[in-house]
Amino acid sequence: MQLKLTVNGVARSDDIEPRLLLVHYLREVLGLRAANVGCDTTSCGACTVLLNGESVKSCTVLAVQANGQSVTTAEGLVSEDGEMSPVQKAFQAEHGLQCGFCTPGMVMAATSLLKENPHPTEAEVREGLEGNFCRCTGYHNIVRAVLAAAEGVPARASGGASEGVSA
């Protein structure tokens, strides 16, 4: 089947098997490695991408379902000059990662959350990231990173302490 879609701002046209999952299309056909395959059941969120701006778990979306649509991966959040998005910068500044396996999915879920709710509370961030699992961090720094991104400036990037999230 002929698949036509836009991935990270680039128009694509590829011949694919109709049963190919979006995550496998991104990883195996396009060579984009940010969307990770963790569970194949939508449980972990490591494969989260944006489909027309909405957060989806690409392990349970057929690539053909994205036909004619726009997909953004974590690679697509980086500007042409290599500058990371505010969410990516906040994850780095707030140490919102350890092993990094869940990080692209968390970043994409957080990006979608902040698009829908630019100024979430801590509880809203925790609820918004509910479908994305991390086995390393304990979530505290991830939540702090999302709140810092919502403020517009990662708090630790300037050496200051984070506000609004208790330690």
- Answer whether 23's CB lies under 8 Å from 47's CB: yes
* Among the listed residues 115, 110, 112, 116, the one whose alpha carbon sits nearest the alpha carbon of residue 129: 110
* Phi, psi angle pair for 26, to nearest 5°: -60, -45
Tens-level pLDDT at each residue, the chain (167 residues):
999 999 999 999 999 999 999 999 999 999 999 999 998 788 999 999 999 999 999 999 999 999 999 999 999 999 999 999 999 999 999 999 999 999 999 999 999 999 999 999 999 999 999 999 999 988 999 999 999 999 985 444 444 443 444 33
Tokens of 122: 């801590």
What domains does the chain contain, in order, with CATH numbers? 2-76 (3.10.20.30), 86-154 (1.10.150.120)
CA distance 88 to 79: 11
Task: Give the pTM.
Answer: 0.88
pLDDT of res. 41: 86
